[in-house]
Every structure is written in structure tokens, then in C-alpha cells.
Chains A and B, each alone.
Chain A
Amino acid sequence: MTAETSMTASTSMGSTHPNRYQALWTLCQDSTKRLLKNPLTAVGLGVVIMLLLVALFAPWLATHDPLVQNLNNTLSAPSAAHWFGTDEFGRDIYSRLVHGARITLYIISLVTVIVGPIGLAIGAISGYFGGWVDTLFMRITDIFISFPSLVLALAFVAALGAGLEHAVIAIALTSWPPIARLARAETLQLRQADYIVAVQLQGASSARILCRHIVPMCLSSVIVRLTMNMASIILTAAGLGFLGLGAQPPLPEWGAMISTGRSYMLESWWLVAFPGGAILLVSLAFNLLGDGLRDLLDPRSE
């Protein structure tokens, strides 16, 4: 037995990990390195981090108060005093954009926090138990998925009244079904895996198997999907803002800014170009980041 032991030890990996934190740390380092290897992912990650920083330090980064009007200086072109120009009430567009980042981030994170757990829970439960549970949950999902998301959101906001919170709930309502379907498909596969059978045979309860063994395995693809979703959340939020159903004036929401700037678009292009560019850049960044994360986390793409 001793000879065997020394042999298995010597044929194993060269480095040993004396404790679990070091093991996790190496894993993190490796993942970051692999994530940044793709330049597009690095750009996406950079823009997302920039968005976070801008939102965090908005009051310091903004050159003007985003809400204060200056009717003597309306619709002025980009200049040294107003980098991105001013709008029809003389408000500084750059400052409004910077503060708008907070609103965008607020919507994204709130929707994600609502949608992720709900989708994951419904998907994992219906995939694991199957039978009538599965049928019930999946039919509900089908109902939600069959509505065009913007129309459902419109109806919801029309019923409850316009406002940022209502827009968030409306978006959340329409974006959980794809997550649930994804989690269900993953769970269906995992349920057959030997390591899940092994914990069943150890007497683990269904709740334990779901929480400790299945959900962590679904998590990576759900995170990828959520990141990709963020792009469409931004677009839907901007769309609702544009239609006047999301954030209400004078809040500097990007979609609402485009909506009001649209009347002056031909003479003053900067009113729509800058918020539009911001929406484009951020949603593109989330898509790129999502792609990179998928390459990193999704074992099937290897």
C-alpha cells in the first residue's frame, strides 16, 4: 500500500494546495487571465467597470447639476463649458448622462436581482421534480413567454401608472421565463449525472440536492444569460423611457432624454447622439462581456 501511495502522489499535479483559500485564489486568477485573453471581452469588461465607476462617483464627475435649468443657454453646441452641449432647458447633457448612469444601473441591478433567483428557482424545481410540477411551471412560463415583452410591460405600466419602479417590475415580469427555461434544461441534464445519484444515495433531501448540488452547476450559464439579458434590459428601459412610461421628467434617464431631444434632433444632433451612444455602448459592452463569460463558464463551448 505504501508503494502505491507514493506512486499516486508523485504522478499527480506538481503543485499542492495546502488550503482551500489558496485553491480558490488560483482558480480566480486563472479565470481572470482567461477572461482577459479575448480583447473584445476585455473591452466589454472595461466599459462595464467604467459604468460602475461613473455611477458611483457621479456627483464628483458631473460638471453641472443635472436638473438645474438655464434658459439663457438652451440648445448650445458642445463646447469647453458644456462638453456634450445643453438641452432645450439649458441643462448640461454631460452631467445628465453621468447621473443617468445611476438610473440605468439601478434598473439593471434591480431587474437582475428579481429575475435571477425567480428564474433559477422555477427552472431548477420543475426540472428536478418533473411530472405535474414541471407541467404546471412550464405552462405558466409559456404564457409569459408568449407575450411580446414590450407590450406586456406597456400594459403593466399603463395599469399601474408610469414610473421607474413600475418599469422595473414590468421588465422583470417579462424577462424571467428565458432564465427559467435555461435552468430547467440544465437541471434535466444534471439530474441524470452520477454525482447527483451519489448524493441521493447518501440520503440527501431534495432541497439540499437542489441548493447545494444542482443550482451551483446551473449558476454559470444563468449568469451568462443574465449578463446578455442586461443589454436587452437597458434597451427595454430606454424604450419605456422614450415612450414616457419609465422614468419621469426631469430624471435624466437616457431613453427619456432621447425622447425629449427628438423634437430638436435636426438642428441639435447632440441631444440624441450622446444618450443614444451611451445606450449603444453599454448594451454592447454587456453583450461582449456575456460572450466572454460564456466561453469561460460554459463547458459545452469548449
Chain B
Amino acid sequence: MTMIDIQSLDLSFGHGAQQAHILKSIQLAIDEGESFGLVGESGSGKTTILRCLAGQYNHWTGHISVNNQRLSHRLDRARCRLMQMVFQDPYGSLHPRHTIESILAEPLKIHGIDQRHERIGQLLSKVGLDDSFRYRFPHQLSGGQRQRVAIARALILEPRILLLDEPTSALDVSVQAEILNLLSELRQREGLTYLMVTHDLGVVAHLCDRIAVMQHGEILEVLGTDELLAGQAQHPYTQMLITHSRHKSEVPGQVTRV
């Protein structure tokens, strides 16, 4: 079953000569329970797709449906229960003056859900934190711990889709491995659908089933992880990205002039 269906999604900013066309008729279909990766360099529009789904931009044109419901331009509570997001920077995504408990309790209060204390406790242990973290402030936590809290916050409304915006790019390698393991475990256990944005091919290859490679607001190619691992990418841009992400590639001898 298709969970997220995006058809001819267009988005531009500005007017007249200054208009910037960020997304150019994007077509994407993501199945339920799938982990899908959007790969590209900065400015390719990959995060913008995520932000459209998360209701941050509402002047897009085209057709998006999630769970067979056509997405309106305004964020509503039903969408919040269905879809949540994990941000790139664990230092900026938690309110600095709130304790971990009040950060996690907030969504429950908004949606009027009871048994908050128990739910928070369960969720903390699910993301690998013990109960002693409950009354700490974000600045008392390490980057990896903060990202765990951010994942817990995204999961507390029991959504079916997680939007992951470079969730590990601000973390150290060893912490990145922990968070990636946590994410893939959670997906298996809860049957979540992931849409992940990253510039790191290694990360998508590890976590995702299929990837879309983006450049200049367009999708160049959609391919399965197996094809990626086997080096069967068609588009030269994808091939270039893969070459640069290999463990022991040669430094290219030629330098292009800019």
C-alpha cells in the first residue's frame, strides 16, 4: 500500500526575476513500512520536500496524499498524529528551558492523552534512556542523548511516518552508529515508514530500502539499495556521489575550475 504519494509537487520562492524554483514537479511514491532516502547536495531541495510534508511551507502546488488522504495546505491535528519529524541539529531542536519530561509531555497535553507519566517512562526506555533523564535539561545531555530525546518526542504521538532530516549528520561516528541502530530497530518493531534526507550515502545505504537522488530540485534517479551497493547506478551524478563515498576511492587527479 502506498503511504506517501507525491505528484507534480512544485514550489518556488520570490517573484518575477528573483523567483527561485526550488522543487520541479516531484513524483514520489513511498510504500507503507518502507524506509526511503532522499539524497543530494545542499540546495538540491531534499529538505524542502520534508518541510512541505511537515506543513512548514504551504504555498506548494501539486498533489500530495498521505495514507490515502489528500494533504491540505494547512497543518491539522490528524496529520500530527500521523507524521512526526526528527531534526538535524540536536542542539537546536529541544527547548532549552524545558526539562525532558515537559518536552515529552507537551504533545500528550496538546492531544489530551492521559497516563503521561507511564507513557513517557516507556518511551524513554524504548529509545535507550533511563528514568534519571526525566528531569534534566537538554544542556545537561550529550548530542546523542539529545537526539534520542528528539526521537522519543517524535514517537510519543505514535505516528506511522517519521520524517528524518539528516538525523545523524551533527553527531560523532560512534554516536551515529548508535542512533542508526536505534532507528532501524524502532522501524522493525513499530512498523514505521521512514522518509529520510541525508547527504551521506553510507547512512542511506545502511538505513533505507530505496533512495532518490536529487539535484537542482529534480529527482534524477530512484534506485534500490541493492543496486546502490552493487554499483548499478545509471545517472553519472549518482555514480560520482558513490565514488566519493567509497572507503578507498582515489583522489581524482583532475580539478575542475570554478
> Is chain B in direct contact with chain A in the complex (CB below 8 A)?
yes
Chain A residues engaging chain B, CB cutoff 8 angstroms:
1, 4-5, 8-9, 11-13, 16-20, 22-23, 27, 193-195, 197-204, 208, 212-213, 216-217
Contacts of A23 in B (CB 8 A): 99, 135-137
Q: How far is the CB of B132 from chain A (nearest CB, A)?
A: 4
> Does B84 touch A at the CB level, under 8 Å?
yes
* Contact assessment for A194 and B55 in the assembled complex, using a CB-CB cutoff below 8 Å: no
Contacts of B110 in A (CB 8 A): 199, 202-204, 208
Q: What's the Cα separation between A197 and B163 when bound, in Å? A: 13
Query: In the complex, are the beta carbons of A213 and B129 less than 8 A apart?
Result: no
Inter-chain contacts of A18 with B (CB < 8 A): 132, 135
Taking a contact as CB atoms under 8 Å apart, the answer to whether B95 and A195 are in contact is: yes
- CB <8 Å contact, A194 and B148: no
Least CB distance from B134 to A in Å reads 8
**A16–B87 CB distance below 8 A:** no
Q: Are A4 and B97 in contact (CB under 8 A)?
A: no
B114 at the interface (CB under 8 A from A): no
Instruction: Indicate with 1 or 0, residue by residue over B123-146, a CB within 8 angstroms of chain A CB atoms.
Output: 001001110110111001110110
- Complex Cα spacing A5 to B148, Å: 11
Closest to A7 in B: B178
17 residue pairs of the A-B complex, CB under 8 angstroms, read: A4-B178, A5-B128, A5-B130, A8-B128, A8-B142, A12-B141, A17-B136, A23-B135, A23-B137, A193-B92, A194-B89, A199-B110, A201-B84, A202-B84, A203-B77, A208-B110, A216-B97
List the interface of chain B (C-beta within 8 A of A). 54-56, 75-77, 80-81, 83-85, 87-89, 92-97, 99, 101, 106-107, 110-111, 125, 128-130, 132-133, 135-137, 140-142, 144-145, 148, 150, 153, 157, 178, 181-182, 185
5 interchain residue pairs of minimum CB distance: A203-B80, A194-B93, A202-B107, A203-B77, A16-B132
CB proximity of A26 to chain B, nearest CB, Å: 10
Closest B residue to A200 by CB, please name it.
B75
A9 to B134, CA, bound (A): 13
Q: Decide if A201 touches B75 in the complex (CB within 8 Å).
A: yes
Task: Give chain A residues whose Cβ lies under 8 Å from the Cβ of B96.
Answer: 195, 217
B136: chain A residues at CB < 8 Å are 13, 17, 23
Complex Cα gap A16–B128 (Å): 17
Give the Cβ gap from A246 to chain B, nearest Cβ, in Å: 39
The answer, among A12, A20, A195, for a CB contact under 8 Å with B142, is A12
Q: A201-B83, A203-B77 are in contact. List 15 more A-B contacts (CB 8 A).
A: A8-B142, A12-B145, A23-B99, A193-B92, A194-B87, A195-B92, A195-B95, A197-B56, A201-B54, A201-B55, A201-B84, A202-B84, A203-B76, A203-B107, A217-B96
Q: A1-B128, A8-B148, A16-B132 are in contact. Are A197 and B54 (CB under 8 A)?
A: yes
Closest to B84 in A: A201
A217 to B92, CA, bound (A): 13
Chain B residues with Cβ below 8 Å from A199 are 95, 106, 110
Residues of A within 8 A of B101 (CB): 20
Residue of A11, A18, A198, A217 contacting most chain B CB atoms (<10 Å) = A198
Q: How far is the CB of A62 from chain B (nearest CB, A)?
A: 43
Contact between chains at A195 and B93 (CB < 8 Å): yes
Known interface pairs A1-B185, A194-B89. Does A17 touch B135 (Cβ–Cβ under 8 Å)?
Answer: yes
Contacts A11-B142, A23-B136 known; A202 to B80 CB distance under 8 Å? Answer: yes
Q: Shortest distance in angstroms between A17's beta carbon and chain B's nearest beta carbon?
A: 5
Q: How far is the CB of A151 from chain B (nearest CB, A)?
A: 40
Say yes or no: B94 contacts A195, CB within 8 Å.
Answer: yes
A198-B89 Cα distance, complex, nearest whole Å: 12
Give the chain B neighbours of A216 by CB distance below 8 A: 97
Contacts A8-B129, A194-B93; A20 near B185 (Cβ below 8 A): no
For A20, the chain B residues whose CB sits under 8 A away are: 99, 101, 135
In the complex, are the beta carbons of B99 and A9 less than 8 A apart? no
- CB-based nearest A residue for B182: A4
Given the contacts A5-B129, A19-B135, A202-B106, A194 and B84 also touching, CB distance less than 8 Å: no
CA distance A20 to B134 in the complex (A): 8
Contact of A9 with B92 at beta-carbon distance under 8 Å, contacts A20-B135, A201-B55 already known = no
Complex contacts, A5 vs chain B, CB 8 Å: 125, 128-130
User: Chain B residues near A200 (CB, 8 Å)?
Assistant: 55-56, 75
Using CB atoms, name the residue of chain B closest to A27.
Answer: B137
* C-alpha spacing A193/B129, complex, angstroms: 25
Kindly report which residue of chain A lies nearest to residue B89, judged by CB atoms: A194
Contacts of B81 in A (CB 8 A): 203
Contact of A201 among B85, B125, B129, B144 (CB under 8 A): B85
Q: How far is the CA of A84 from the CA of B85 in the complex (A)?
A: 68
Docked Cα-Cα span, A216 to B132, in Å, equals 25
Within the complex, what minimum Cβ distance (angstroms) separates A207 from chain B? Answer: 12
